Amino acid sequence: MNFALESSLEARPEHELERSPETAYLGLGGNLDGATAAIASALELLDANPHIDVRAVSSLYQTAPIGLTAQPDFVNAVAHIETRLSPEDLLSATLNIENLLGRIRTERWGPRVIDIDVLLYGRREISTPRITMPHARMHERAFVLVPLAELDPGLRIPGSTETVIEAAHRLANETRIVKVTEAGLPSPNRDGVPGTSTIAST
């Protein structure tokens, strides 16, 4: 991979990163020009971090905006990673990548070229001023649950009685979400070709 991630995390003493790898899931999305390429670059930057291993990536989905609806549709995906970083350090790594790729925060729910959310970190439930785990409202978001169901359909989000696939089917019938690429790392130069999904409604 051609991207180098400069991060203070890499300079930390080894003993601070001597932990067993933890499974985590990240949500990635964007709706400005170049969003698909930014998602691909973000995945490469994540995998370039020596403490993060990108294990699988869902298909890309075109989804309707939430909150601020007068903006372009989003492209969304979910990545399964293994990491030795703590939840807080993983969040810092994702924010660093957003900055490197030109994320500018102007308004809540507003347009963005890239957004990376830490959705789940193992079975951990965390509530601090900086991080909430599972990610707030992920159980209500088709653009999170539909791609997540591709990667782990039997997963249960901590605090939920539904499996991810059950919730994904329910939410996909309530919102517009369309698969635009098959699962795997999207090419930075590919915008996606409309496809079909066994979960997402078309």
Q: 133 is written with which tokens?
A: 């785990």
Neighbours of 3 (CB within 10 A): 16
Q: What are phi and psi for residue 28, nearest 5 degrees?
A: -125, 140
Beta bridge partners of 195: none
Q: Give the span between the Cα atoms of 104 and 176, in whole angstroms.
A: 26
Amino acid letter, residue 112: R
Pairing of strands 177-179, 126-127: unpaired
The SS3 of residue 99 is: helix
Could you list the active site residues? Answer: 103, 112, 115, 117
Radius of gyration over every alpha carbon of the chain, rounded to an integer in angstroms: 16
Amino acid letter, residue 76: N
Q: Which residues contact residue 101 at a Cβ distance below 8 angstroms, ignoring those fewer than 6 apart?
A: 38, 41, 42, 45, 113, 114
DSSP state, residue 185: P
